[in-house]
Structure 1
Amino acid sequence: MPLSHDQITRFLKSVHPYDALPTDALDELAKSIEVWEVDADHPVYELGHAMPGVFVIYEGQIEITDENGVVVSHLGLRNSFGERGLLKDGKAATKARTHTPSVLIVLQPDLVRELIDAHDVVSKFFNRARAPRATQQSLATSRIDTLMARDPATCAPDTTVQQAAQLMRDRGISSICITEGDSLFGIATVRDLSGKIVADALPPSTPINQIMTREPVTLSPADIGSDVLHAMMERNIGHIPITEGGRLVGMVTQTDLTHYQAVNSAELVRRIARAENAAEMALVTAEIPQLLVQLVAGGNRHEVVTRLITDIADTATRRLLTLAVTKLGPPPVPYLWLACGSQGRQEQTGVSDQDNCLMLDDSVTDQDMAYFVELAKFVSDGLDACGYFYCPGDMMATNPRWCQPVRVWRDYFKGWIAKPNPEAQMLASVMFDLRPIGGSYELFTELQVETLANASANSIFVAHMISNSLKHTPPLGLLRGFATIRSGEHRNTLDLKHNGVVPVVDLARIYSLQGQLPEANTRARLSAAEAAGVVSASGARDLLDAYDLIAETRLEHQVKQVKSGNPPDNYMPPTSLSDFERSHLRDAFVVVKTMQSAVGHGKGMLG
């Protein structure tokens, strides 16, 4: 499909960083790029070959695989790829292949370099591609409170070395701190036991304080990883107690440093993609809370953090599908596994259940259905074992209602649009966030286009969806205060999910319906809605800023919980914020409320 200059310009206005370029620069850019039309299942570039440039997807879907042929990402509209290889050494570190017929905008290498030299916003964007902030926030520059093990093992000074050794053995650790109350007196390690007890033939009844290292080197949680590295190298030690105000609060060992360096999203994806069963995957997904801590500590934006965490869930799902087919044999007809909810929107945090469904080719027979019942159970059980717990509302492929041929799904959407009763509104809200994960993607493509067109054309349905979206409201009280939860176990807290991010998620879904926009991700929907003229530039920017602040606050709250040894949730006491933070969070909620009011009163988003 040949693209006009105006089409390219309008499109680039919806893609960062090109949306921030001056008008004349954007116009020149549109004249300088190439447009590739690539058939389905065709390579875009091969591993190790020279990179032809940076790609932006105008239409279609792209599959990225690593050197082992493992799928590391599925990309769609407005996603870009190729930056890393181009800017690193000019050679492809991955393989890109079209999943569907695709139209790609290509910025040749020289053009990319010219843009980097001429425009700071482009330079910053591609510098992140060259060395992502998560990588820049290396071990050496990470705060110790993201590295240390909490609740270190302790014993009293008169504890025998045998008792101390037994405690270390039982906990699988190599050091123990000697304390009285919260005060640290010394530290003893496995090396002390071998070098001072075994080597000198001292009795097991020897008090630990006779062999401990007195007044050991300590650091504080606010110090950084380089302080640990330098202290260990200078003094030839492998254990450093962490104290705060004289109180023992943690321990950092060489093992902790190694583990920290090993925990990154790519490594977790690699291990899951090679797992032989759900139990092996569960060992990997158990590291997601620590990954969340590191990604946030690394200064990554919330949409990057949630995308990387969602990629892990996607990989687990695809791996389970592969294992299911290995166990059950080839599927009798083409199928497509889709995710909805936060996974569908690529917005998973440290707290996620599973929401999914199966679309089957219309040639499926009643006899074939038994295969997909088994496949759905295998995958959903595996996801549950990995910590993606069963959906309380049973929005899963294991529910026969959500494991159906495409023709039944088409009838579902038509029925919800034609008769938008409360259940239809709820189901439509969930199912409009569908995103293909594994299988035959073409089963969904036509249905999605058709459904968006039908939904946007039905003003009554849109009105009902707007009404449904306003059920989740920001937690605003009187006199510039917050309306916290009044009773129950979460009393006096803010629900940063249902009253925080969900109102923005719902607004973005309404905009996508009105503009027939295929994006599922909330931030992508808001940007696309602005580019399509569904919402004004000022309204979109205000809402994006508000959403960013709310989502960042939610992630930071979850990180604090993980660092405190607690499971992450969405319930934050506003008293945990400073006055400055509370003021800005309330302003963000006001923006959301204002945009809800505009939609609720039918005042068009362009006003």
Structure 2
Amino acid sequence: MTAHVQDVMAFAHQQMPFSHLPEAASAYFSKHLSIVYLTQENQADWLNPTDVNLYLVRSGTFDLVSVQGEVVTRLAEGDYFGFPSLLTGDKISNRLRVVTAGLVYILGQHSFDYLRREYKEFEQHFVRAHTNRLLSTYYQSKSRNWSEFKVNEMMSAQVITSHKLLSIAEAAQVMSRHGISSLIITDGSQLLGLITDRDLRNRVLAVGLDPSLPVETIMTEKPKFIFENNRVFSALHLMLKHNIHHLPVLDEEYVPKGMITSTDLLKLQKSDPVQLISKIYKARSVMEVKRCASELPELLKQFSNKIEDISTIGKILSGVTDALTTRLIQLYQVEYGAAPCAFCWVCFGSQAREEQTLHSDQDNGLVLEATVTNEQLLYFARLGAYVCEHLVACGIKRCPGNIMASNDACRGTVKQWSERFDKWIKSPTPKAMLNCKIYFDLRLIDGSASLFRDLSTQLEQICKDDLFYAAMATDINTNSVPIGLFHQFKLKKGTTDHKYLDLKHRGVVIINDLVRLYALKAGVFKANTLERLEALLQYDMLSKKDIFDLQDCWRYLTQLRVKTQIDRDGLPSNCIDPQVLTSLQKHQLKEAFFLIKQAQQASVFKFARGSL
């Protein structure tokens, strides 16, 4: 063996996957490659789009650039490229840009395939690398549908604020000077109120109010707002629900960061889901509400073909269920009178997480004022029955566990709800753990925001028992991903001859449970799984890599899950036949399950000290 080959072999053997393979693998690689000193001048000669190879960077710096001209990644010593086309047979789409000239080792298709056949770990390394690239870049598409954007990407970032003692005339001058149609009123840095040009017309000019009065006289106190990291769809839904045209945008510290207006969102009004939600809020009868709901299945099928990230459908479905619920509550009060005391309607589970699918059922309840009387309880019992029954008629199934506001056990005061949670936490039986998985995902739908805040504050105080987290982690690990010996799928057999994988219970649910565990421990009281993961980046509980892996796995499994529901291939709900997947898709699915299994095991060591 020449000194030259020995040098290449020594370098190769330091790189994955050769560092975990017999020396014969790196020896074969070293003897069958070409070596090129790649420069800006000669890169076109060696990087032909029709010539598929594996490239390993020995020295120099190179940018991998997409067809849109965006840098996908920067490559340096020890990095590979070219393997996606070798694995899939697809044409090369990305191109290489030389930043700093350097040596590159080039291995042809025939030699690459030989190493794949002879060394399984060699193949798995590149399949995994390709999967991670797909998962991490697929959802960053520049052709995203509007519903996938965050509020801070579409809001007006010009924040103009004033003090409540500013005169109405001075406030109007500020608005005119800055060319804005609304003005945020603050107390220090916190949102206090809002005035709009409509307020100036209707509350000042139309009634002849003295413009020297302070602006607090006409402002809307405690206006609705949205956080900057929420999706645009949520902002639009909130504006439709409350018929408002200006929505302040706040950061996590409740400091105003911008404004989103009906004008900003006007172009979105052509979207079918937006039109449907708008129609639901305008429905004048239960019959009209049901007619709107009947449009949903076909609408979703059409809309799913227009968006890149099909998991967005969870937000849309939950938004429609929110609208149906709110409008039914309103119609009940029109028919039977206003609520006799303060209340709030809350949802749990997938609706709370805004992750509903076509087969999601109801999970809801009522939080009532502490002084509620027996007579008033009858009103809310009838309200719960009315809304839940009509939701069934709208296609939202009953909860098999009867977690619905029509059930006496799902109506109560803040104190009663808190006592139930406290009991589950202090006596973490399997049944209690199941309740925690459902009820700890909660969100306000309609009614008193103050009652909901009181309940959230109580829950935050009682979630501090380490034994509870240990029990939760142990319970999560009783559910396993469907991967068996030799990394093969463990298939279920249905009533027919079909064998299938349960993507929900053996995949998505485990991720939801893991993320909920870490979020509760960190004091993150968001409900949505991806939002919880994003919030966890601010804590030291999970590494960034683990968080990104869980985000990507959740998206990938949800993508498959919703697609199978829309395609309706005859299998049980949330299930897929792996035989319909390509070889690469099977590898990606196995990799997702593998990462979930690792996260499960890590949770036991972190919270239960490896006590399984």
Shift in alpha-carbon separation, 1:567–1:582, aligned structure 2, 3 A: closer
Q: Which residue of 2 aligns with 1:514?
A: 521
1:370 to 353, 374, 378: 378
Distance 1:500 1:33, change over 3 A: same
For the pair 1:447 / 2:455, whether they are aligned, the reply is: yes
Structure 1 residue 383 corresponds to structure 2 residue 534:
no
Q: 1:473 deviation in Å?
A: 2.4
Q: Quick check: 1:492 aligned with 2:496?
A: no
Q: What are structure 2's unaligned runs of at least 5 residues?
A: 1-138, 141-156, 165-174, 199-223, 237-242
Q: Distance in 2 between matches of 1:351 and 1:330?
A: 33
CA contact (8 A) 1:263 1:287 kept: no
Q: Is 1:437–2:445 an aligned residue pair?
A: yes
Matched, 1:327 2:335: yes
Q: 1:536 & 1:36 partners in 2: Cα distance?
A: 38
Task: State whether structure 2 residue 308 is matched by structure 1 residue 300.
Answer: yes
Structure 1-normalised TM-score?
0.59
Tell me which residue corresponds to 1:460: 467
Residues 249 and 259, structure 2, Cα contact 8 Å, conserved in 1: no
1:584 — aligned with what? 588
2:554 alignment counterpart: 547
Contact 1:340 1:356 in 2 (8 A): yes
CA distance in 2, matches of 1:37, 1:449: 30
1:291 correspondence with 2:299: yes
Deviation at 1:129, TM superposition (A): 8.3
Match of 1:530 among 532, 537, 551: 537
CA distance in 2: counterparts of 1:583 and 1:98, whole angstroms: 42
Aligned to 1:556: 563
The aligned counterpart of 2:579 is 575
Q: Secondary structure of 2:606's partner?
A: coil
SS of aligned partner of 2:374: coil
CA positional deviation for 1:302:
3.7
CA distance in 2, matches of 1:274, 1:539: 44
- The one of 596, 601, 604 aligned to 2:605: 601
Alignment partner of 1:482 is 2:523: no
Note if contact 2:473-2:607 (Cα within 8 Å) is conserved in structure 1: no
Q: Greater shift after overlay, 443-452 or 535-544?
A: 443-452
The Cα offsets for residues 253-311 of structure 1, whole Å up to 9 and x where unpaired, read as xxxxxxxxx87111110111122333322222222222322332113324422112211
Any idea what SS the aligned residue of 2:444 has?
strand
**Separation (CA, whole Å) in 1 of partners of 2:227 and 2:318:** 15
1:397 aligns with 2:548: no
* Residue type at the aligned position of 1:519: K
Amino acid of the structure 2 residue aligned with 1:103: Y
Q: Aligned in 2, Cα 1:434/1:603: closer, same or farther, shift over 3 Å?
A: closer
Q: Equivalent residue of 2:255, what SS?
A: strand
Query: Is the contact between residue 160 and residue 183 of structure 2 (CA under 8 Å) also seen in structure 1?
Result: no
> Deviations for 1:419-454, whole angstroms, at most 9, x for unmatched residues?
212222111111100101000021121321331342
Per-residue CA deviation, residues 110-153 of structure 1 (Å, 9 max, x unaligned), is xxxxxxxxxxxxxxxxxx98978xx9xxxxxxxxxxxxxxxxxx
Contact 1:59 1:77 (8 Å CA) reproduced: no
Per-residue CA distance 1:210-267 (angstroms, 9 max, x = gap)? xxxxxxxxxxxxxxxxxxxxxxxxxxxxxxxxxxxxxxxxxxxxxxxxxxxx871111
Q: Helix, strand or coil for the counterpart of 1:476? A: coil
Q: How many residues matched?
A: 404
- Judged with a 3 Å threshold, the aligned counterparts in structure 2 of structure 1 residues 471 and 603 are, in CA distance, closer, same or farther, namely closer
Amino acid at match of 1:488: T
**What RMSD over aligned residues (CA atoms) do the two structures have, in Å?**
4.1
Partner of 1:360: 368
Q: Displacement, 1:489?
A: 4.9
User: How do residues 120-139 of structure 1 correspond to structure 2 at under 5 angstroms?
Assistant: none
Q: What's the counterpart of residue 20 of structure 1?
A: none
Counterpart contact for 1:61–1:74, Cα < 8 Å: no
Are the equivalent residues in 1 in contact too, given 2:470–2:608 (CA < 8 A)?
no
Q: Is the 8 A contact 2:428 2:471 kept in 1?
A: yes
Is 1:264 aligned with 2:272? Answer: yes
- Does the Cα contact within 8 Å between 1:61 and 1:98 map onto a contact in 2? no
1: CA distance, partners of 2:372 / 2:345: 15
CA distance in 2, matches of 1:103, 1:38: 17
Aligned ranges 1:151-190 → 2 under 5 Å:
none
Give distance in 1, aligned partners of 2:510 and 2:163: 38
Counterpart of 1:592, as a letter, is I
Q: CA deviation at 1:576?
A: 1.4
Q: Which amino acid counterpart does residue 433 of structure 2 have in structure 1? A: Q
The letter for the 2-side match of 1:264 is: D
* 2:468 paired with 1:317: no
Q: SS of 1:599's equivalent?
A: helix
Larger-gyration structure (1/2): 2
Q: Percent identity?
A: 27
* Structure 1: 5+ residue stretches without partners: 1-15, 18-31, 40-45, 68-72, 86-91, 110-127, 136-261
Instruction: Tell me which residue corresponds to 1:280.
Output: 288
- How many angstroms apart in 1 are the aligned matches of 2:595 and 2:450? 38
CA–CA distance in structure 2, aligned partners of residues 544 and 533 of structure 1: 17
Q: Tell me the distance in 2 between the aligned counterparts of 1:83 and 1:346.
A: 10
* TM-score normalized by the length of structure 2: 0.59
Task: Pick closer, same or farther for the CA change 1:373–1:520 going to 2, 3 Å.
Answer: same
CA contact (8 A) 1:354 1:390 kept: yes
Amino acid at match of 1:273: Y
Report the AA paired with residue 254 of structure 2.
V
Which amino acid in structure 2 is aligned with residue 540 of structure 1? I
Q: Verify: 1:79 aligned to 2:230, yes or no.
A: yes
Cα deviation, 1:567-601, whole Å, max 9, x if unaligned, reads 99312111111111111111011111110110022
Alpha carbons 1:328, 1:375 under 8 Å: kept: no
Q: Where do residues 89-238 of structure 1 align in structure 2 (5 Å cutoff)? A: 94-96=245-247, 103-106=254-257
- Determine if contact 2:226/2:235 at 8 Å carries over to the other structure: no
Q: Distance in 2 between matches of 1:35 and 1:482?
A: 57
Distance of 2:571 and 2:287 partners within structure 1:
20
Q: CA 1:502–1:82 in 2, change beyond 3 Å: closer, same or farther?
A: closer
Letter of the aligned partner of 1:591 in structure 2?
L
Task: Please give the alpha-carbon distance, in whole angstroms, between the structure 1 residues aligned to 2:323 and 2:273.
Answer: 11
